[in-house]
C-alpha cells in the first residue's frame, strides 16, 4: 500500500502528537552508550507478505536457519506499531552486508508498511538520532527493501535535514 503525500503528512502529525509512545520497549541503556560508532540507520521489511512476525520469530529463523548467534536486527516494528527489541545496540548487526559495523538495523514486519508502523518508524528514528548524534543517514537496505510504502528520502530529510 503506497500512501499519498497528504496521508504521510497526517501520519507525521499524529506521530508528533503521540511522541514518546515507542520509548517503552527500547534498549534505554544502549541508546545512551552503545559502545560502538554508529552513523546510519538501515530500514528493512521482513518480506513476509504482510504477515505479522515478531522479533522472537525472526530471531528463531536467524539462529536455526542461518546459524547466527542472534537476530540480525536491532529493532522490529510489528504491524500494530509496537517496537520489539532485537540484538543489543552495542552488538554489530547482521542485516546489511558491508554496512553492519556502523549501522542500526530496523525491520518492519510484513511486506508493506502500515500507517502505525510508519508513525513508529519516524518516532524511533527521531529518538535514535537525538540520542546518537553521529547518525547522519537513514537508508533502505536495498532498492526493493523496505519496499515503496516507505518514503525513505522524506524520512531522512524530516529527521536529519540537510546535515
Predicted pLDDT of residue 20? 39
Predicted pLDDT of residue 30? 54
Predicted pLDDT of residue 50? 78
Residue 110, domain CATH: 3.40.80.10
Predicted pLDDT of residue 19? 43
Q: Is the Cβ–Cβ distance between 163 and 66 less than 8 Å?
A: no
Total number of domains constituting the chain: 1
Predicted pLDDT of residue 138? 93
pLDDT beneath 50: ranges in the chain: 9, 15-25, 28-29
* Residue 23 domain boundaries: 5-159
Rounded Cα gap, residues 106 and 41, in angstroms: 7
Predicted pLDDT of residue 84? 94
3-class DSSP state of 73: coil
Predicted pLDDT of residue 22? 41
Amino acid at each position: 500500500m503506497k500512501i499519498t503525500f497528504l496521508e504521510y503528512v497526517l501520519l507525521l502529525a499524529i506521530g508528533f502528537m503521540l511522541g514518546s509512545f515507542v520509548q517503552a520497549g527500547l534498549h534505554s541503556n544502549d541508546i545512551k552508550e552503545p559502545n560502538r560508532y554508529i552513523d546510519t540507520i538501515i530500514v528493512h521489511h521482513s518480506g513476509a507478505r504482510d504477515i505479522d512476525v515478531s522479533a522472537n520469530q525472526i530471531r528463531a529463523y536467524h539462529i536455526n536457519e542461518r546459524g547466527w548467534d542472534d537476530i540480525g536486527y536491532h529493532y522490529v516494528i510489528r504491524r500494530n506499531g509496537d517496537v520489539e527489541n532485537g540484538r543489543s545496540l552495542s552488538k554489530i548487526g547482521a542485516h546489511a552486508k558491508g554496512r553492519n559495523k556502523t549501522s542500526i538495523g530496523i525491520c518492519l514486519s510484513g511486506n508493506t508498511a502500515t500507517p502505525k508502523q510508519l508513525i513508529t518508524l519516524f518516532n524511533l528514528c527521531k529518538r535514535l538520532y537525538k540520542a546518537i548524534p553521529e547518525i547522519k543517514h537513514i537508508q533502505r537496505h536495498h532498492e526493493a527493501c523496505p519496499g515503496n510504502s516507505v518514503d525513505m528520502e522524506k524520512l531522512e530529510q524530516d529527521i536529519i535535514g540537510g546535515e
